[in-house]
Amino acid sequence: MATIVTIASSPSVASRTDAVLGHIERRLDVRGHAVQRVVVRDLPPEALLRADATDPQIAAVVAQIEAADAVVVTTPVYKAAYTGLLKTLLDLLPQYALRGKSVLPVATGGSAAHVLAVDYALRPVLVSLGAEHVTQGWFVLASDVQVFPADGGVLLSESASRALHQVTESFLTHVARHRRDKVPALDDDDVVLRVSPHDDVAAPLLEDLVVEYGTRYGLSTPHTQLTEVPVSDFEGPHGAFVVVLRGGQTIAGGAIRRHDDETAEVKRVWTHAQFRRQGLARRVLIELEKAAAGLGYRRIHLTTGPRQPEARALYLAAGYLPAFDLHADPESIGPHAFDKELPAGTVLSGASAVPAVPGVSAGSPGLRSYRDWGAA
């Protein structure tokens, strides 16, 4: 299953463009993909026009797009190009926000004279943002889309329906080819270990989180000091602590603890600032889910803070279901809770010898190599 962000950039609430997007989203949904719609007109207008990437809602959307596996971009065409509303969002994205992603561009308009807007106006911008592959897009004539406002129904002409089916299937084929439900790969010299939280290799993770939380939330609180739960919760038989080492350096990690008899709680997911955007946090989550299954848990629970849009995007992309309103002001929610059922049959095989790692004693309690479980 891929996480696909769709972008609706029509300034109008009653929009044929949004109607076409809804049709595409249904096709993505029935194929089992997680669809997350971004409605640009609902974002803070002043932050958009001022290109304020620090605005919480803007930052959350940017992180959501960066974390996605693929993107669908839709726009009406008024003056031979995509909307200014869409441009305000694209201008806010980091230079390579679409790196490694497949992108499907779709436009609507009242005249066939605008048909080249997809290829000559929108496609070059998407390529400049690092899109791995901009699939064949499509221009849909407004006359081919009939919207029924009373119930939200949409009637597409036969030609429009056939064309949208073709370009969407081509897009999904490319997504599957390049994703293949892949697990983020580790470098050849990366080692994933299960350790005691008291081991030396865990210290960089815990220390950096104190700095990170303290910076984002300002006041010194139990959460910024990471003392709301004892680190002993992350040891057996009910917990686990995972680190990723590269060249002996701790570059990522996370932990689980008992939430209830059938539920593990994820805590402390972290990636070293110099090694972010390499899939390491997603990799840590996968290892923690396997550890939870190995300890007999059936589901995962976690919370993150309102000033951690990267974490929020990560959990959404990893299939965690939010227990809060995604459209509410993050600061008004408090802790952002997520839950995920573990797939049946998620088990771990027995571990073998642990490779020697500087700073970690072979006798450390619970120390095991996830490579030996075939998780590399």
List, in order of start, the domains of the chain with CATH numbers: 3-179 (3.40.50.360), 190-373 (3.40.630.30)
CA 340 to chain centre: 14
Alpha carbon distance 87, 134 (integer Å): 17
- For 41, residues 6+ apart whose C-beta sits below 8 A from its C-beta are 8, 9, 10, 11, 13, 85
Distances (CA, A) of 72 to 18, 79, 89, 91: 12, 21, 14, 17
The predicted-structure confidence for 361-375, as pLDDT tens digits, reads as follows 333 333 333 332 222
Alpha carbon distance 352, 189 (integer Å): 18
Between 41-55, 80-94, 174-188, 265-279, the lowest mean confidence (pLDDT) is in 174-188
User: Which of 29-33, 50-54, 125-129 is the most confident on average?
Assistant: 125-129
Closest by Cα among 223, 285, 292, 304 to 259: 292
pLDDT given at position 77:
95
Note whether 90 and 129 are within 8 A (CB).
yes
**What token pair was written down for 321?**
């279901």
Sign of CA dihedral 232, 236, 237, 243: positive
Between 161-165, 204-208, 261-265, the lowest mean confidence (pLDDT) is in 204-208
Q: By three-state DSSP, how is residue 272 classified?
A: coil
Q: What angle, rounded to 10 degrees, do the helices at 280-294 and 309-317 form?
A: 60
The predicted-structure confidence for 311-328, as pLDDT tens digits, reads as follows 998 998 888 999 999 888
Alpha carbon distance 69, 62 (integer Å): 14
The predicted-structure confidence for 190-223, as pLDDT tens digits, reads as follows 899 999 999 999 988 888 888 787 777 776 665 5
Note whether 73 and 65 are within 8 A (CB).
no
pLDDT band at 147 (very low <50, low <70, confident <90, very high): confident
Sign of CA dihedral 14, 17, 20, 24: negative
What does the pLDDT average to over 271-289?
A: 90
- The sheet with strand 263-271 has its strands ordered as 321-322, 336-341, 299-304, 263-271, 249-260, 240-246, 190-195, 368-369
